[in-house]
Chain A
Amino acid sequence: MAGRATADLTGPAPAAVGEPAILAEGLSRAFGGVRALQGLDLTAPAGRVVALVGPNGAGKTTLLLILAGLLAPDGGRVRVAGADPLADPLAVRRAVGWMPDFFGVYEGLTAQEYLELFGAAYRLPRAERPGRARELLVNVGLEDRAEARIDTLSRGQKQRLGFARAIVHRPSVLLLDEPASGLDPRARVALRDQVRAQAAAGACVLVSSHILSELEEVADAAVFMEAGRVTGEYAVGEVSAAATSQPWTLRALDHDALARGLEAAGVTGRAAERGEIEVDLGGEEAAAELIARLVGAGVRLVEASPRRGGLERAFLTSGEAEQPR
């Protein structure tokens, strides 16, 4: 309240030099006999989107609760935006925007009132709150529902409102737990753009989701979790940039002509779905060369793309993730 420094309102506050936005070392937490986190280590830098991937019960939600300052770890060290949630919870809460996987909204308020309330909860100056609320409603595409009561909104609209709420105080660390659940495809794309915009503005975004193809499009890196530990890390886009072999999908108007063209180029292909042919290529240079050769040989090529799902493959081959629990 009075006499305390208010949050930086102009934009995400830069983390201290050399300090990652999120730092967790040897984090552990148990609920009764269930060990949700067992020595988890994680770092995430400012300005990046890091995906948190793991099966149900891997401890993702527990980790996000600790980072949001709502749950004390049993052991280990945590720094969020340079602050210790145990020693200085308010500094952490000021820096963190948190969107849980399950949350409710005050059904009796309008969307505008709801965001203004949370503006107040984050000590935004009173005069600034209505404008900030309107701005956020435009950002998440709810401007025409600003004066509508929240109980008249659809599930997806409430989800978007929840995202707007999480960024009302321009957090420097954004924690999103399954943010896309309940969203239609267009809203998912919009959410992706907003998450990228937050990272571009300097925020560190940690996002958990089960939809790996979607995470791959928004994240810079992925962290795999299993049974309360980090079991692997994966830099999105690393595979296509590296010279290692990667599957590409090719499609032509005439399937047989494509097959002959590949044979002539000395590349072995595999038949894939929908008449496509899959080939293993050593990076984009090799791909460009092959495409030029095929087109030069008169193959009427309509599609050539690196196969998506690198994150999914990496996840399934990391640790014990593929074993049923």
Chain B
Amino acid sequence: MIDLMVSELRQRLRGRRWWVVLGLWALALLGLLALTRAAVSGVGEGFRLGPFMFGSLALFVLALACLVMPSLTSGSINGERQRGTLAVLQATLYRPWEIFLAKLGAATVTAAAFLAATLPLTLWCFVEGDVSVVSVLVVYLVLLVTCAVLATFGLAASALIPRPALSAVAAYAAVFALTIGSPIVFALADE
């Protein structure tokens, strides 16, 4: 299973697409954080700049992860089916859950790499002051778990729906139903 995960990651690292997405991700977050920093630069005494910036960064990462993780995973099973690589794998001694876990593991390691790319930005927040190391660790752990959960949405869609274009739509629909839809339902139910 580990071998399958490693080979999946190896293929991903060799593709150009991965590096482009990673670069855009880092640039987008840098831009958002710089804008946030500029927006609050004039705020007076007593404003804790560091925690505000780090909180904003975590929110941006979460939002972008909702876009990136489904696209990384929603074609990984039906795509293999279309390319004819899945059946020969299913004919081996790998059990279906091993193939699934290998793909989930590869997606989670990829997510960890995306999160690692945000570390310089976190360092910036840290330098601005008042950010505790513990909160940084907890936030990163929660982000990683969230990314893994988002990956399962993409993988489920790609296992259930044969066509990659449709499975991507389904994965995004599920993610947005939960992130935007569930608060709306909650608010309506509260009336």
Contact = CB atoms under 8 A, between A and B. Distances in A.
A190 interface: no
A122 B1 CA distance: 11
Interface centre among B1, B83, B89, B91 (most CB of A within 10 A): B91
Contacts of A117: 3-4, 7
Top 10 closest pairs, chain A to chain B, by CB:
A108-B11, A121-B92, A120-B3, A104-B83, A104-B84, A104-B85, A103-B84, A108-B14, A117-B7, A98-B91
Interface of A: 1, 7, 68-70, 90, 93-94, 96, 98, 100, 102-109, 113, 116-118, 120-123, 149, 162, 165
Given A1-B98, A68-B91, A149-B14, 18 more contacts: A96-B91, A98-B88, A103-B84, A103-B85, A104-B80, A104-B83, A109-B11, A113-B7, A113-B10, A116-B3, A117-B3, A117-B4, A121-B3, A121-B89, A121-B94, A123-B93, A162-B88, A165-B88
30 contacts: A1-B1, A7-B93, A69-B91, A70-B90, A70-B91, A93-B91, A93-B92, A93-B93, A94-B93, A96-B91, A100-B87, A100-B88, A102-B84, A103-B84, A104-B83, A104-B85, A108-B12, A108-B15, A109-B10, A113-B7, A113-B10, A116-B3, A117-B4, A118-B92, A120-B4, A121-B89, A121-B93, A122-B93, A149-B14, A165-B88
Given A106-B7, A108-B11, A117-B7, A90 B93 contact: yes
Contacts of A122: 92-93
Contacts of B88: 98, 100, 103, 118, 162, 165
The secondary structure that dominates the B interface is helix
Contacts of A70: 87, 90-91
A321 B88 CA distance: 31
Nearest to B98: A1
Contacts of B15: 108
Contacts of B89: 121
A94 B88 CA distance: 13
A323 to B, nearest CB: 32
A113 B3 CA distance: 10
Interface in B1-21: 1, 3-4, 7, 10-12, 14-15
Given A104-B83, A104-B84, A109 B90 contact: no
Interface of B: 1, 3-4, 7, 10-12, 14-15, 80, 83-85, 87-94, 98
B60 to A, nearest CB: 31
B4 A121 contact: yes
Nearest to B99: A121
Contacts of A149: 14
B10 A103 contact: no
Interface centre among A94, A104, A109 (most CB of B within 10 A): A104
A102 B91 CA distance: 14
B4 to A, nearest CB: 7
Contacts of A118: 88, 92
Nearest to B88: A103
